[in-house]
């Protein structure tokens, strides 16, 4: 099983080399904070971080609870738009930009430069709440049904909400996109430095999400969710309220997705209905989780890194002097590549790059690791 | 010790699936402290009766009383909290979870099942985990699976999975255990063990057992009384020997081979 153990480090190393070497080569091996490989890596890692928030959230839903959410885009989008309207000021009636809300000014009392950070915190929380409420609303009628019904419902709702955004163009400016969404702390830094600030903010957020998810999952709570993924009937027969626990897992994932959407909105500065098409906002996130390893939070992050790494480097290839037959098709070949990657992983390593932990409860995990290190105890003969 | 008090009463219970009356106006009662057997030909409605008692199915008509309180129509987890646990005919182990976690999942109302507790009060969660760990180890030793404590449940043999099902019922303090064919697919040696375990549960821990079984040897050795169901109805009840000689039972089920 030696080769099996090498797959993950080798893959991570290969992707790292790709994302460093190609942009470094493109920029003529110059090391500068303004151009070339360093700002590229900052932007790259920021995107990986944002996607990690979604994969961690999907991992709670699918990797642990076994709830089949095929409409990540819905929660992503609701979070992103909520984040946007809570961080921008009210719409200017003279401009063509039309949207509801615009609560950014409401939450910036005049102290400590609060407009630089407070609206963003409020917006992120509001995004989580909005997305969580959507999850609650969807789950009430569908969560008792078989898992594939929820998949279809979430898929449909994601598309439906996107259509609403396009049609009701007074809501969040329709297909003309919501633009001018500010970034946190942007008043202090130049555009070049802001990249690194954004990265730092995302890293902190991913760390918080990771800790919260990991701690809550690797506990008796997570053990019930993990049991649900195996067999709901058995868990119900062990006295657990299946509906309630499924709801908790689903809503928790949705809240995190909503927050991720808000961060995404701050980071992009403009979001429109095309941003939330299924490919980017649902499918790619699923691909990341499957490749990384569903049921492991490190895997969720590794998957975001590997898939996004391949995704961006293949775009960079476009800058090379490729034969025409490849060059004109490179966009489509990327889609193909992601699909192929999923198939390869499912065939060769269905558990993903980072397999699931053997034990859900972290307390038990420590206990058993400790016992394994010790020499086998003399067979304790239970008197019967 | 067996008493006269009924722990479980089933009154005029019916359940239909489409045109099939799986349980048809069934009346029976289980006395506290007994190991009561439930036998009957295939399709007699035995497993459906278990499903109705444990809330996996909702009855079409009739009542189920546990300690005199109605439990029919309660969802499975509520029935569990009343003190009734069941095993499944085909074991439903949580496959890619270890034996210990299969068992540590079971205790009711764990501190760590409320999401904020692992986040904020991990010390309390850990203390309770230790208690449940000790309990699970004790139960695994009772069913003699403790050497497999850190294995995935999917790696167990068929008979071991049956033992794990039994172990699961011991992680809470049940008043009534429903066993759906505990002996099916279990080899003779393991079966002896299983019979011993079930007797200990009843005689030493005072748990009432209600079990479905096709193996007449096991039923004869273990159960008193035995209830016979046929075509969804209560047909007869008595000691294993009485039941074996009962003409109605022979006609319905035993096909005369025990005559």
Taking only the tens place, the pLDDT of each residue in A12-60 is 999 999 888 888 888 788 777 777 788 889 999 999 999 999 999 999 9
Check pLDDT > 60 for residue B107.
Answer: yes
* CB distance A279 to A260 below 8 Å: no
Distance CA B44, CA B24 (A): 10
Confidence of residue A145 (pLDDT cuts 50, 70, 90): confident
In angstroms, what separates the C-alpha of B98 from chain A's closest C-alpha?
7
Annotated domain spans of chain A: 2-371
Distance CA A288, CA A292 (A): 6
Say whether A234 and B92 touch across the interface (CB within 8 A).
Answer: yes
Check pLDDT > 60 for residue A2.
Answer: no
Nearest alpha carbon to residue B182 among B223, B148, B145, B153: B223
For the beta carbon of residue B52, count every other beta carbon within 10 angstroms.
26
Confidence of residue A373 (pLDDT cuts 50, 70, 90): confident
Per the structure block, which two tokens stand in for A297?
């939070």
Backbone phi, then psi, for B86, in 5-degree steps?
-130, 160
Check pLDDT > 70 for residue A168.
Answer: yes
Average pLDDT over residues B206-231: 90
Nearest alpha carbon to residue A367 among B203, B245, B254, B126: B126
Q: What would the pLDDT profile of B225-234 be if each residue is shown by its tens digit?
A: 999 998 889 9
Contacts 24+ apart (CB under 8 A), A113-122: A113/A187, A115/A187, A116/A184, A116/A185, A116/A186, A116/A187, A116/A188, A117/A184, A117/A185, A119/A86, A119/A87, A120/A87, A120/A184, A120/A262, A120/A266, A122/A86
Chain A residue numbers with beta carbons less than 8 Å from the beta carbon of B86 are: 237
* No. of helices (H) and no. of strands (E), chain B: 10, 10
Question: Which pLDDT belongs to residue A299?
Answer: 96
∠ CA A199-A203-A204 to the nearest 5 degrees? 120
Check pLDDT > 90 for residue A225.
Answer: yes
Question: Which pLDDT belongs to residue A384?
Answer: 40
Q: Which of A6-20, A94-108, B236-250 has the lowest mean pLDDT?
A: A94-108
Say whether B92 and A231 touch across the interface (CB within 8 A).
Answer: yes
Q: What would the pLDDT profile of B15-30 be if each residue is shown by its tens digit?
A: 999 888 999 999 999 9
Best to test chain B binding among A215, A221, A251, A379 (most B CBs inside 10 Å) = A221
Confidence of residue A330 (pLDDT cuts 50, 70, 90): confident
Bridge partners (DSSP) of residue B31 are: B6
* CB distance A54 to A76 below 8 Å: yes
Which DSSP symbol is given to A115?
A: G
Portion of chain A with pLDDT greater than 70, in percent: 96
Say whether B101 and A360 touch across the interface (CB within 8 A).
Answer: yes
Question: Which pLDDT belongs to residue B259?
Answer: 43
Nearest to B94 among A231, A364, A371 (CB): A231
In angstroms, what separates the C-alpha of B39 from chain A's closest C-alpha?
23
Question: Average per-residue pLDDT in chain B?
Answer: 90
Question: Which pLDDT belongs to residue B258?
Answer: 44
Portion of chain B with pLDDT greater than 90, in percent: 65
Average pLDDT over residues A227-246: 94
Question: Which pLDDT belongs to residue B3?
Answer: 67
* CB distance B167 to B189 below 8 Å: no
Structural domains present in chain B: 6-93+173-254 (3.40.50.300), 98-155 (no CATH)
Ranges of H-type helices in chain B = 46-53, 76-82, 99-104, 116-120, 122-142, 158-169, 188-205, 216-222, 240-245, 247-249
Average pLDDT over residues B165-181: 92
Dihedral sign of CA atoms A307, A310, A316, A321 in order: negative
Distances (CA, A) of A86 to A24, A46, A48, A266, B23: 38, 22, 24, 11, 59
Name, in order, each residue with C-beta under 8 angstroms of A338's C-beta and a sequence gap of 6 or more: A283, A284, A287, A307, A310, A311
Looking at the domain that runs over A2-371, which CATH code has it been given? 1.10.3470
Confidence of residue B256 (pLDDT cuts 50, 70, 90): very low
Q: Which of A227-231, A320-324, A368-372 has the lowest mean pLDDT?
A: A320-324
Question: Which pLDDT belongs to residue B255?
Answer: 56
Confidence of residue B93 (pLDDT cuts 50, 70, 90): very high
Q: What angle, 0 to 180 degrees and rounded to 10, lies between the N-to-C axes of helices A37-58 and A72-87?
A: 120
Ranges of H-type helices in A168-190 = 169-172
Bridge pairing between strands B226-230 and B35-39: parallel
Nearest to B150 among A356, A361, A368 (CB): A368
Check pLDDT > 70 for residue A72.
Answer: yes
Check pLDDT > 50 for residue B92.
Answer: yes
Name, in order, each residue with C-beta under 8 angstroms of A166's C-beta and a sequence gap of 6 or more: A174, A175, A273
Question: Which pLDDT belongs to residue A185?
Answer: 87
Per the structure block, which two tokens stand in for B154?
């999917």
Check pLDDT > 90 for residue A309.
Answer: yes
Residue of B nearest to A382 (CA): B141
Average pLDDT over residues A232-250: 95
Question: pTM for the complete prediction?
Answer: 0.91
Ranges of H-type helices in A98-188 = 118-142, 147-167, 169-172
Question: Average per-residue pLDDT in chain A?
Answer: 89
DSSP A306-346: HHHHHHHHHHHGGGS---HHHHTTHHHHHHHHHHHHHHHHH
Q: Which of residues 335-354 of A touch B (CB under 8 A)?
A: none
> Touching check for A169 and chain B: CB below 8 Å?
no
Backbone phi, then psi, for A75, in 5-degree steps?
-75, -40
Residue of B nearest to A378 (CA): B147
For the beta carbon of residue A324, count every other beta carbon within 10 angstroms.
7
Ranges of H-type helices in chain A = 2-26, 37-58, 72-87, 118-142, 147-167, 169-172, 191-217, 220-230, 232-237, 242-268, 278, 284-292, 297-316, 324-327, 330-348, 362-373
Chain A residue numbers with beta carbons less than 8 Å from the beta carbon of B119 are: 212, 215-216
Check pLDDT > 70 for residue A134.
Answer: yes
Question: Which pLDDT belongs to residue A107?
Answer: 81
Bridge partners (DSSP) of residue B13 are: B26
Q: Residue B66, CB half-sphere, CA atoms under 13 Å: how many?
A: 21
Which DSSP symbol is given to A156?
A: H
Chain A residue numbers with beta carbons less than 8 Å from the beta carbon of B123 are: none
Check pLDDT > 50 for residue A148.
Answer: yes
Question: Which pLDDT belongs to residue A7?
Answer: 86
Size of interface A-B (CB pairs under 8 A): 132
Q: What would the pLDDT profile of A335-354 be if each residue is shown by its tens digit?
A: 888 899 999 999 989 999 99
């Amino acid at each position: 099983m030696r080769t099996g153990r090498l797959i993950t480090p080798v893959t991570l190393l290969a992707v790292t080399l790709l994302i460093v070497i190609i942009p470094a080569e493109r920029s003529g091996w110059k090391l500068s904070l303004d151009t070339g490989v360093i700002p590229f890596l900052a932007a790259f890692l920021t995107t990986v971080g944002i996607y990690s928030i979604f994969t961690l959230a999907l991992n709670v839903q699918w990797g642990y609870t076994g709830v089949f959410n095929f409409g990540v885009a819905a929660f992503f989008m609701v979070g992103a738009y909520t984040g946007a309207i809570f961080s921008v000021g009210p719409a200017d009636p003279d401009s063509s930009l039309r949207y509801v809300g615009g609560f950014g000014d409401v939450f910036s009392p005049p102290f400590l430069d609060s407009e630089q950070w407070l609206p963003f915190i409020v917006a992120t929380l509001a995004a989580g709440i909005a997305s969580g409420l959507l999850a609650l609303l969807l789950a009430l009628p569908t969560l008792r049904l078989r898992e594939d019904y929820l998949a279809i419902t979430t898929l449909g709702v994601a598309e439906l909400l996107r259509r609403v955004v396009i049609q009701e163009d007074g809501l969040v400016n329709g297909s003309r996109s919501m633009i001018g969404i500010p970034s946190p702390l942007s008043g202090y830094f130049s555009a070049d430095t802001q990249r690194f600030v954004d990265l730092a903010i995302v890293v902190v957020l991913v760390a918080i999400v990771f800790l919260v998810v990991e701690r809550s999952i690797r506990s008796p709570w997570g053990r019930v969710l993990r049991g649900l993924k195996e067999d709901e009937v058995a868990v119900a027969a062990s006295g657990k309220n299946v509906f309630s626990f499924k709801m908790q897992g689903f809503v928790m994932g949705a809240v995190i997705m909503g927050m991720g959407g808000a961060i995404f909105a701050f980071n992009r500065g403009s979001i429109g209905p095309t941003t939330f098409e299924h490919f980017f906002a649902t499918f790619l996130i699923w691909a990341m989780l499957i490749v990384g390893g569903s049921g492991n939070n490190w895997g969720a992050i590794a998957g975001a890194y590997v898939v996004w790494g391949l995704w961006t480097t293949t775009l960079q290839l476009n800058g090379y002097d490729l034969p025409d037959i490849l060059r004109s098709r490179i966009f489509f070949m990327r889609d193909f590549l992601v699909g192929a990657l999923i198939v390869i992983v499912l065939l060769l390593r269905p558990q993903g790059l980072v397999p699931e932990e053997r034990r859900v409860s972290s307390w038990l995990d420590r206990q058993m690791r400790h016992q394994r290190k010790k020499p086998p105890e003399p067979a304790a003969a239970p008197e019967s | 010790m067996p008493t006269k008090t009924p722990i479980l009463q089933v009154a005029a219970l019916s359940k239909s699936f489409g045109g099939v009356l799986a349980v048809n106006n069934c009346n029976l009662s289980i006395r506290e402290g007994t190991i009561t057997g439930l036998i009957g030909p295939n399709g007699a409605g035995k497993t459906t009766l278990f499903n109705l008692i444990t809330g996996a199915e909702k009855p079409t008509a009739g009542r189920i009383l546990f300690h005199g309180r109605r439990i029919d129509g309660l969802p499975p987890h509520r029935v569990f909290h009343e003190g009734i646990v069941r095993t499944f005919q085909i074991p439903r182990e949580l496959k890619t979870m270890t034996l210990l976690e299969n068992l540590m999942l079971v205790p009711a109302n764990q501190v760590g099942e409320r999401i904020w507790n692992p986040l904020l009060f991990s010390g309390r969660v850990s203390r309770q985990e230790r208690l449940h760990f000790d309990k699970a180890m004790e139960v695994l030793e009772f069913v003699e699976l403790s050497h497999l404590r850190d294995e995935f449940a999917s790696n167990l043999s068929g008979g071991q999975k049956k033992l794990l099902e039994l172990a699961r019922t011991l992680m809470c303090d049940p008043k009534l255990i429903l066993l759906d064919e505990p002996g099916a697919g279990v080899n003779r040696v393991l079966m002896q063990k299983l019979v011993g375990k079930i007797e200990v549960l009843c005689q030493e821990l005072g748990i009432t057992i209600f079990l479905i079984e096709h193996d007449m040897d096991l039923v004869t050795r273990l159960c008193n009384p035995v209830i016979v169901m046929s075509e969804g109805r209560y047909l007869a009840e008595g000691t294993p020997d009485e039941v074996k000689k009962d003409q109605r039972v022979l006609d319905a089920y035993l096909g005369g081979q025990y005559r």
